[in-house]
Structure 1
């Protein structure tokens, strides 16, 4: 008797280069999961899988900033684009949500913004970034700012968000995927899709994808406050969707913690990704928690 291919869709983080095509992303994610399955002993239970990671770098706008190098020709973009008032407020709120105690630590002196990085970030942003570094660790905001500026592009520009979601939805519809693995800001994208009812559904109206793994997610501090979710209400996914969230203690994007304190029905699993490059998607994909859920998804 033939075994059906288990279809999985991956939702990548937004920080991708022009070479990150669907074929290349899918190949790399598939290789990581295949290797992990082979090492785990779950390969026979999981059976054949196909992992598709739709690339949306082609629909995401190029922005001239050292924190966002996306799309063909982005290397030829101008130097850092200046931050406007609306984006400045978005960044300030996001950094405050990431490290609330840092706000009281800000240095308001004229020299307080002159020791962080280059580019056209505003003095207010630089002061807050410096304060976050004092609270969260040196260099943390240098890694967060690209995420926050790219999140602004998704969360505050409806045409961009709609185009990104359309690419993911097309992959879900084409593959009939029963499982989704969403990394970093990709978890915000997919959560947004679930909240909007934009995920393909079964005949009974429930989502066709019944297993969700989020990895290195900023949902606890970014999406709740910036348009994806209603502030003050718990995060949740539709009934029938098993949600597992992987977080690494040294991953700065997930704020070194999980989502269970803010979410209903999520299973948090702490994983060891080491101290260097702890946010890397492939360090999450090789974990036993992923292979166990891939094997389980076969029988959902």
Structure 2
């Protein structure tokens, strides 16, 4: 019987599914230890759908069949990707207080750069500024948004990824879902579309470092709504995590009932976005344990 489904984020290619699952479990146990608690759960009750190699293969357009999603880098962006990246960068610029003067100063040819995200030179210059700000990383930001774009706008990629993750769910079987980064987008999209029809029973959804409330992502996922059967939705984020730009509040992500947001994370991983820096938080770890205890 499965009780816990863990869905990872981006940039997990060339890793071992079993090793990643163990890292998640260790981080969760670390958080519980900080809280003076523990969790005993057989490994077979925890499912970890690994799609890292699959996503890498598909987005790189490598020859041959993509690796299967296991249950246990890019060239120049296309026009659609550029528009998507530009919109996200513009939102980060606004939220981070970066000025047009800062962006112009970072441009290779500031005299000819046009203001606004419609100009790719502006986007590149803005990314340079982001890259120099403490806690922000333009490389992480760009790759994260391109992976999200690939999942949401390429139906072939979406179908392959979802087919693998779908295997982690069993109809009528109660489970807690914990998702991170791009995984939150995939899980939300799948639960919203399929939970009722497939009889998935997910009373608790926990999202960590989620980019769901970023404007272009919200637009691509409309209509926004709470997935069927999700009673408790707990969203934790570090305010310094550029991928989790906004809380999942009614202003940025209008679902009813509203999502419970927790911003008290100090993610100590290098980019402030790593899963270990979320799951080893005592508040997050206790929410996972308490949700499992109610199944």
Note the C-alpha offset of 1:20. Answer: 3.6
Which piece of structure 1 moves more, 149-158 or 236-245? 236-245
Deviation for aligned residue 1:168: 1.5
How far off its partner does 1:293 sit? 1.8
- 1:97 is displaced (CA, Å) by 3.6
Higher relative contact order (CA 8 A, sep 6+): 2
1:159 equivalent in alignment to 2:156: yes
Work out which of the residue numbers 7, 12, 22 in structure 1 matches 2:8.
Answer: 12
Does 2:32 correspond to 1:41? no
| Worse-matched range after superposition: 92-101 or 138-147 | 92-101
User: Does the CA-based 8 Å contact 1:169-1:199 persist in structure 2?
Assistant: no
The answer for the alignment partner of 1:251 in structure 2 is: 241
Q: 1:110 deviation in Å?
A: 6.9
Give the Cα separation in 1 of the matches to 2:285 and 2:261.
Answer: 15
| Aligned residue in 2 for 1:145 | 142
Q: Name the CA shift for 1:250/1:15 in 2 (closer, same or farther; >3 Å).
A: same
In the superposition, the TM-score normalised over structure 1's length comes to 0.75
Whether 1:229 and 2:219 are equivalent positions in the alignment is no
What is the alpha-carbon distance in structure 1 between the residues aligned to residue 198 and residue 162 of structure 2? Answer: 15
Rate the CA distance shift 1:241–1:167 in 2: closer, same or farther, 3 A. Answer: farther
1:169 alignment counterpart: 166
Determine the structure 2 residue equivalent to 1:120. Answer: none
In the TM superposition, what whole-angstrom CA distance separates every residue of 1:101-121 from its partner, at most 9, and x where no partner exists?
A: 78983649871499xxxxxxx
**Quick one: distance in 2 between partners of 1:182 and 1:163?**
18
Asked if the contact 1:216/1:248 (under 8 Å) is kept, the reply is yes
RMSD of Structure 2 on Structure 1 (CA): 3.6
Report the CA distance between 1:162 and its aligned residue.
1.5
Question: Which of 109, 112, 115 is the equivalent residue of 1:111?
Answer: 109
**Structure 1: runs of 5+ lacking an equivalent:** 66-70, 73-78, 115-122
Change (3 A) 1:28 1:177: farther
What TM-score, normalized by structure 2, do the two folds share?
0.76
Distance 1:42 1:200 in 2: 37
Give unpaired runs (5+ residues) of structure 2: 68-72, 113-117
The CA distance in 1 between the partners of 2:128 and 2:285, in whole Å, is 35
1:244 is displaced (CA, Å) by 0.3
Q: Distance in 1 between matches of 2:129 and 2:76?
A: 25
CA distance in 2, matches of 1:171, 1:200: 16
CA contact under 8 A between 1:26 and 1:53: conserved in structure 2? yes
Residue of structure 2 in register with 1:82 after alignment: 76
* Equivalent pair of 2:237/2:244 in contact (CA under 8 Å): yes
